[in-house]
Amino acid sequence: MAKDTFFQKKETINAGGKLLDLSAPKVMGIINITPDSFYAESRRTDVGQVRLQAEKMLIEGAAFLDIGAYSSRPGAKDISAQEETDRLLPAVEAIVSNYPEAIISIDTFRAAVAETAIKAGAHIINDVSGGSLDENMFVTVARLQVPYILMHMKGTPQTMQQLASYNDVFAEVYDYFVQKIYQLKQLGVHDIILDPGFGFAKKAEHSYALMNRMHEFSCLQLPVLAGISRKRMVYGLLDTTAEQALIGTTALNTVALTKGANILRVHDVKEAAEAVKIFSAVISLS
């Protein structure tokens, strides 16, 4: 008799005509085309550096490359859509040209920037604002029919840290997802990935509370992305720096895998891919 699939989690997405299976966790490598992202080693300021970093990450096991040209760190400087596009497009075009099989995610909250990048060959839109900073984002995603990473954040990168206040952070993020998922599905968006937004308008205790209950997002039947790489929730707890937070990040990524993460968004692909391999070996025996 077939198992009841009413609460079966969606574990595939269609990215550029390629059906990706997320039932086994995948790694997303971060490439920041910015001068001011919080982790200096993630910054790539010219096309040659982007191409080399993309190659390295793909060799090390990245299933996705997440390209961002707008720093969303707390208090980051705002830049125009034109400047963001001017930074982003050459990088996307270089990756598409040199690594045509690469799956490219675009880290932007601007619908026009996202659309330009998708038309240049990118496949996924990763929106830190969950559509709240651009009213055209959801309709654009629906029209383009691309996977959408829905993240929770309050305010803007410039104001979010002043808004890190919750009665129940998990309940608020869960309700936010329910509302946004409904809006997206009403528009006909098929592939949605959830990102709790660790560190975005959240103090460390909020982020750890979300991590502790992250497996409960499975009730929403959608893939979940964990983006905790080298963040303050790691290095602040360890009283160190982002540059020294690789071991802590790997430990927390492993916790995220036990809590149901389908995608790990990371600066350090090799270490994350090794964590996935070991985790997968263990659960294959259960």
Euclidean distance between CA atoms 70 and 17, whole angstroms: 27
Q: Annotated catalytic residue: which of 180, 230, 259, 265?
A: 265
- How distant, in Å, are the alpha carbons of 114, 122, 196, 232, 239 from that of 108? 6, 12, 16, 21, 31
Is 265 annotated as catalytic?
yes
Question: What are the DSSP calls for 70-138, one per residue?
Answer: S--STTPPP--HHHHHHHHHHHHHHHHHH-TT--EEEE-S-HHHHHHHHHTT--EEEETTTTSS-TTHH
Phi, then psi, of 270 in degrees rounded to 5:
-55, -50
Q: Annotated catalytic residue: which of 26, 44, 87, 231?
A: 231
Secondary structure, 3-state, 31-76: EECCCCCCCHHHECCCHHHHHHHHHHHHHHCCCEEEEECCCCCCCC
Q: Which residues are catalytic?
A: 231, 265
